């Protein structure tokens, strides 16, 4: 396959980077094997926190999946020329994000060898069934799209009509994966922190924010590495998208807070209180949640003021803040808030163990690995097509 | 007709997609017709339930004979780390079992004293709803919420969905945490979820659950609440009883007399 061969031609920097990621991936694999052999008891997961870092990262990664939407939709539906070269990069990031999301579910399972049971004994009333179908469907759908768009670039032609139709199909699908992921949580009467109809819209708002901010960061990095020169116009538009989405994200979060605190139902207040340190003085998650809040406001300020967001260092800082803020809130706080405080008195707080961080880092490394290879192919194809 | 490699790849991609969609359709169809977990649509003819008389239970504070009998009968592993414990029937303080029934003026009997809790074998069990494989289901004939430990994939979604903390995940190998093994009951493996099954193995022989039998105060009554003449129905008619979190709509089938 000529496309795959393109990943084999690279300089020293390229191979060092891939090697570094491979080391992380191997460490994660070993860590995961140990978790499976000894049991998830060697992590910090417990009776009270059956889901932790992995499922939090799963939620965040599904959000990364929506990075595709912020560039593909304006380009294919509204013909924003500025995204002509960026749309495919966004789609690749999104697809890889969803692959990571599925892996995070996989490592969280106690009996992953039995995964096939979900298909052998399907139970459509379970949202996991739908999550599995929509996530794997999205990966297959967008993989076909990416492959066909690459061919089109190679041949200097417009993608065929069926590919464009698949692209259109991928837009509601991208909304769907995050909606189903929110439904996974917000239908549970047992968990007041998640039991809110606003959860799916909140997930989408934060996903679109993190997705567009991440794309800005990647484009700035590629520019710095002189691998891809994103147009100023594309960056400017992405920053505007991130600004709007962040406004909605912050708005949704505050709307939720109003409901919880003005209503004051104890079962609802205690979870938010726990997250922000109002319930116990020893909540280790509180500093992180406050950091997340401050970072969101900093990002909001910079992104909202055009004079600020047009300056590259500030844009870089704002997008980094937005991604970290949402990573803390969705990738960690969402789960802790769902389970803590425990219904049966004080339990030691959940602090992800080194093993969990190792596995999570390895999965992220795999993501970086896949994105690197795919971008390498894209840039090589474009270089050949130009010459 | 000649097919180029490109067309072939495009076609195979679409076929994979179509096959996936077809499988999903079949799955939904199968669920509608025959899957045992789909039985929730009809209320079970019988609904086994358990009523615990706390007036009698309090006569022996600190007694845990019901848990001990259950643990021995079902090879329930005894992990020392409280964060990894596996529990089928165990005790928690009244105030934490019934947090909404506290008003700040209640006697200590109703706040501090421990009481036994277990799976509520709900009318509408959220655990059954969320299980992606049907490894837990509500038995059509008597409403017992059952588990298949060989089918469970260990996703822990049921633990997340249960409002009663009634489900336990095996964070370590459960066979290492058994002092004695009851050969008549299976042991479990690492990475699966387990819970009380109302002693389905004893019900099959016409015997009451082990906890009911073990209670020296005869504080636990077991039976079919759909049968108006059963002992439990009569007891529930006579005295006012509480259930855990009935406001969630799960329809718990474990009752407590104060």
B175-185: pLDDT as tens digits: 999 999 999 99
Residue ranges, chain A, pLDDT below 50: none
Buried b (16+ CB within 10 A) or exposed e, A270-308: bbbbbbbbebeeebebbebbeebbebbebbbebbeeeee
Output the pLDDT for position A8.
Answer: 85
Section B121-126 average pLDDT: 97
- Backbone φ and ψ of B115, nearest 5°: -140, 155
Output the pLDDT for position A344.
Answer: 79
CATH topology of domain B42-257: Alpha-Beta Plaits (3.30.70)
Mean pLDDT of chain B: 88
On whether any CB of chain A is under 8 Å from the CB of B101, the answer is no
Whether the pLDDT of residue B108 is over 80: the answer is: no
Output the pLDDT for position A347.
Answer: 74
Instruction: Indicate the number of domains in chain A.
Output: 1
Output the pLDDT for position B32.
Answer: 46
A349: chain B residues, CB-CB within 8 Å: none
CA-based torsion, A327, A59, B156, B45: positive or negative:
positive
Output the pLDDT for position B34.
Answer: 42
Section B163-174 average pLDDT: 96
* CA A271 from centre of chain: 24
Domain that holds residue A237: 2-386
Look at A129 and B84 and tell me if their CB atoms are within 8 Å: no
SS3 B136: strand
Residues A117 and A201: their CA atoms lie apart, in Å, by 31
Residues A67 and A315: their CA atoms lie apart, in Å, by 17
Whether the pLDDT of residue B38 is over 70: the answer is: no
**CA A71, A73, A78, A80: dihedral to nearest 10 degrees?**
10
Output the pLDDT for position B105.
Answer: 83
Section B217-230 average pLDDT: 96
| Tokens representing residue B173 in the block | 């190998």
Section B193-203 average pLDDT: 96
On whether any CB of chain A is under 8 Å from the CB of B134, the answer is yes
Output the pLDDT for position A243.
Answer: 96
Place of tokens 């002189």: A226
Place of tokens 């052999």: A37
**Which among A239, A186, A172 is positioned nearest to A211, based on CA atoms?**
A239
What Rg do the C-alpha atoms of chain A give, in angstroms? 21
Domain boundaries, chain B: 1-34, 42-257
Band (pLDDT 50/70/90 cuts) for residue B37 is very low
Q: How far is A185 from chain B (nearest CA, A)?
A: 9
Output the pLDDT for position A283.
Answer: 77
Residues A378 and A146: their CA atoms lie apart, in Å, by 10
Of all residues in chain A, the one with the smallest CA distance to B18 is A137
Band (pLDDT 50/70/90 cuts) for residue B102 is confident
Looking at per-residue confidence, does B74 or A387 come out higher?
B74
A121: chain B residues, CB-CB within 8 Å: 35, 133-135, 151
Please tell me the least confidently modeled range out of A239-248, A364-373, B38-47, B164-173. Answer: B38-47
Pair A26, A358: CB distance under 8 Å: no
Output the pLDDT for position A227.
Answer: 92
Whether the pLDDT of residue B27 is over 70: the answer is: no
| Tokens representing residue A206 in the block | 């934060």
Residues A90 and A241: their CA atoms lie apart, in Å, by 14
The DSSP 8-state label assigned to residue A41 in this structure reads: G
Look at B27 and A45 and tell me if their CB atoms are within 8 Å: no
CATH of the domain at A261: 1.20.1630.10
**Which among A15, A41, A350, A189 is positioned nearest to B250, based on CA atoms?**
A189
Output the pLDDT for position B25.
Answer: 59
| Tokens representing residue A96 in the block | 């890889």
Percent of chain B, pLDDT > 90?
A: 72
Please tell me the least confidently modeled range out of A240-244, A289-293, B22-26, B50-54. Answer: B22-26
Band (pLDDT 50/70/90 cuts) for residue B78 is very high
A169: chain B residues, CB-CB within 8 Å: none
A345: chain B residues, CB-CB within 8 Å: 93, 96
Q: Which residues contact B143 (CB under 8 A, 6 or more apart)?
A: B43, B44, B46, B47, B48, B121, B123, B253
**CA B101, B105, B107, B113: dihedral to nearest 10 degrees?**
50
Angle at A164 between CA A160 and CA A168, to 5 degrees: 165
């Amino acid at each position: 396959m000529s496309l795959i061969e393109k990943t084999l031609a690279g300089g020293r920097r390229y191979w060092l980077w891939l090697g570094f990621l491979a080391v992380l991936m191997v460490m994660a694999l070993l860590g995961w094997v140990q978790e499976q052999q000894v049991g998830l008891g060697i992590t910090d997961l417990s009776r009270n926190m059956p889901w932790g870092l992995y499922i939090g990262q799963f939620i965040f990664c599904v959000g990364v999946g929506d990075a595709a939407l912020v560039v593909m939709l304006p380009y294919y539906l509204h013909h924003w020329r500025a995204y002509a070269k960026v749309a495919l990069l966004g789609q690749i990031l999104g697809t890889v994000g969803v692959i990571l999301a599925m892996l995070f579910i996989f490592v969280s399972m106690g009996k992953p060898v039995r995964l096939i049971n979900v298909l052998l004994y399907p139970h459509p009333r379970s949202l996991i069934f739908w999550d599995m179908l929509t996530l794997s469907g999205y990966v297959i759908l967008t993989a076909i799209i990416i492959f066909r768009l690459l061919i089109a670039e190679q041949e200097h032609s417009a993608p065929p009509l069926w590919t464009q139709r698949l692209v259109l199909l991928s837009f509601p699908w991208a909304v769907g994966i995050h909606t189903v992921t929110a439904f996974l949580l917000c239908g549970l009467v047992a968990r007041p922190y998640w039991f809110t109809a606003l959860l799916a819209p909140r997930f989408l708002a934060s996903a679109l924010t993190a997705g567009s901010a991440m794309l800005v960061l990647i484009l700035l990095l590629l520019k710095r590495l002189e691998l891809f020169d994103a147009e100023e116009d594309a960056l400017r538009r992405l920053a505007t998208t991130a600004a709007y989405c962040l406004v909605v994200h912050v708005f949704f979060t505050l709307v939720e807070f109003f409901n919880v605190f003005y209503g004051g139902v104890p079962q609802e207040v205690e979870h938010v209180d726990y997250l922000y340190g109002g319930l116990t003085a020893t909540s280790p998650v509180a500093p992180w949640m406050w950091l997340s809040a401050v970072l969101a406001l900093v990002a909001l300020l910079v992104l909202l003021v055009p004079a600020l967001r047009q300056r590259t260092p500030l844009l870089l800082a704002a997008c980094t803040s937005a991604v970290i803020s949402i990573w803390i809130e969705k990738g960690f706080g969402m789960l802790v808030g769902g389970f803590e405080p425990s219904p049966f008195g004080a339990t030691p707080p959940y602090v992800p163990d080194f093993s969990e961080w190792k596995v999570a880092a390895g999965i992220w490394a795999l993501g970086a690995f896949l994105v690197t290879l795919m971008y390498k192919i894209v840039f090589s194809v474009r270089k050949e097509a130009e010459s | 007709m000649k097919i180029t490699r490109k067309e072939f790849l495009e076609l195979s991609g679409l076929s994979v997609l179509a096959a996936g969609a077809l499988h999903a359709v079949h799955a939904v169809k199968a669920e509608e017709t025959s899957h045992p977990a789909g039985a929730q649509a009809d209320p079970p003819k019988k609904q086994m339930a358990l009523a615990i008389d706390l007036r009698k239970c309090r006569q022996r504070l600190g007694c845990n004979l019901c848990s001990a009998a259950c643990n021995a009968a079902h090879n329930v592993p005894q992990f020392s780390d409280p964060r990894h414990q596996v529990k089928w029937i165990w005790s928690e303080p009244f105030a934490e079992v019934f947090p909404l029934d506290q008003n700040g003026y209640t006697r200590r009997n109703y706040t501090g004293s421990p009481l036994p809790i277990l799976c509520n074998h709900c009318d509408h069990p959220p655990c059954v709803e969320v299980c992606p494989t049907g490894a837990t289901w509500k038995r059509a004939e008597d409403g017992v919420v059952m588990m298949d430990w060989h089918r469970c994939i260990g996703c822990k979604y049921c633990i997340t969905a249960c409002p009663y903390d009634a489900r336990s995940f095996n964070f370590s190998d459960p066979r290492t945490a058994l002092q004695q093994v009851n050969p008549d009951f299976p042991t479990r493996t690492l990475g699966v979820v387990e819970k009380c099954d109302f002693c389905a193995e004893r019900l099959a022989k016409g015997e009451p659950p082990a906890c009911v039998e073990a209670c020296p105060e005869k504080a636990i009554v077991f039976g079919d609440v759909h049968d108006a003449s059963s002992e439990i129905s009569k007891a529930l008619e006579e005295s006012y009883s509480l259930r855990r979190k009935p406001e969630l709509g799960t329809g718990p089938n474990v009752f407590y007399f104060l």
